[in-house]
């Protein structure tokens, strides 16, 4: 499996943030915790980089992915976007 993170910047919080653009696990490796491990590594990386949040987008009908993100603490922002806060909010 793999994931790709791209740097973005929160002008509201004046902090870096990261866009989780891809999360893929080979079919034969699914249901073995690989996606959870990748999401956790992405969170660790964001914290290490002092990021404000991680953001991702998923298809409206990708229910398996949506359930995975929600089980990992990601909060749905709109129909397609999820966010994982890495530091406390001041607003």
Domains of the chain, residue spans: 2-85
Name the residue with tokens 């499996």.
1
CA atoms within 13 A of residue 88's CA, in its CB half-sphere: 1
CA angle centred on 44, ends 4 and 84, rounded to 5°: 75
Asked if 43 contacts 86 with a C-beta cutoff of 8 angstroms, the reply is yes
Whether pTM exceeds 0.85? no
Which CATH number is 2-85 given?
A: 3.40.630.30
DSSP state letter for 48:
H
* Coil vs helix vs strand at 84: strand
Give the pLDDT confidence of 13-56 residue by residue, as tens digits.
Answer: 999 999 999 999 999 999 999 999 999 999 999 999 999 999 99
């Amino acid at each position: 499996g793999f994931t790709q993170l791209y740097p973005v910047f929160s002008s509201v919080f004046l902090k870096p943030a990261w866009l989780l653009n891809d999360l893929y696990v080979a079919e034969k490796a699914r249901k073995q915790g690989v996606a959870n491990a990748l999401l956790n590594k992405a969170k660790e990386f964001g914290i290490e980089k002092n990021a404000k949040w991680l953001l991702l987008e998923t298809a409206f009908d990708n229910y398996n992915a949506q359930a995975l993100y929600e089980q990992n603490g990601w909060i749905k922002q709109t129909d397609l976007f999820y966010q994982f806060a890495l530091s406390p909010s001041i607003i």
